[in-house]
Amino acid sequence: MKKYYLTLCTLILSGLLFCHVFAQGKSPEKKVTVSYTWSKISTHGSNQLAVWVEDQKGKYICTLFATRYTAKGGYIKRPLSLSEWTSKVNLKNATKEEVDAITGATPASGKQLLHWNCKDKAGIQVPKGIYIIRMEANIRDADKMFYTGEIKIGGKASNATGEITYSKPSLAKGNVLFRDVMVEYK
């Protein structure tokens, strides 16, 4: 009986040790990091920002960040506020907890970092493939700037290829809210 008990304990401990060693050898999950430089502008109808993820077909995946004012009802008072993002997100039916999870105060001027764990809004891991990182910011009322970049998820580390555009080309020469956008998967 002692021999049977000793053999059973040895097998259990060996299994636990194997699982522990296997877990330690497993590479950590990769994530997407979005970095940008934010410059706050002192004017009415400005400083609103949303950063979200879509698939290649334009289907909304999740929001990484949205300014609190717009997400908590400002889009009703000012329909021009982040209108592209609000058309993708179902804010009217979102719970308070869902809105709180994605919102924050208007960023302070300087370097900003956002992270995406490669999961959708329901917390489910997205399949490997190409995803679009989108940014929308109100410079002043209807004057906006956008970033759109493609990032490959799965496999080797990669950087997004993207560009900043404006609702009017002349806006590129004035005050801009974000610049130096970098998107990395690693």
DSSP annotation of 160 reads -
User: Structural domain boundaries of the chain?
Assistant: 29-185
At residue 13, the pLDDT reads 34
At residue 28, the pLDDT reads 47
pLDDT < 70: residue spans in the chain: 1-28
Distance (Å, rounded) from C-alpha 14 to C-alpha 9? 8
Q: Would you call 103 helix, strand, or coil by DSSP?
A: strand
DSSP annotation of 142 reads T
Greatest alpha-carbon pair distance for the chain in Å reads 86
Distance (Å, rounded) from C-alpha 28 to C-alpha 19? 16
Residue with tokens 């990182």: 133
Q: Has this prediction a pTM greater than 0.85? A: no
At residue 3, the pLDDT reads 52
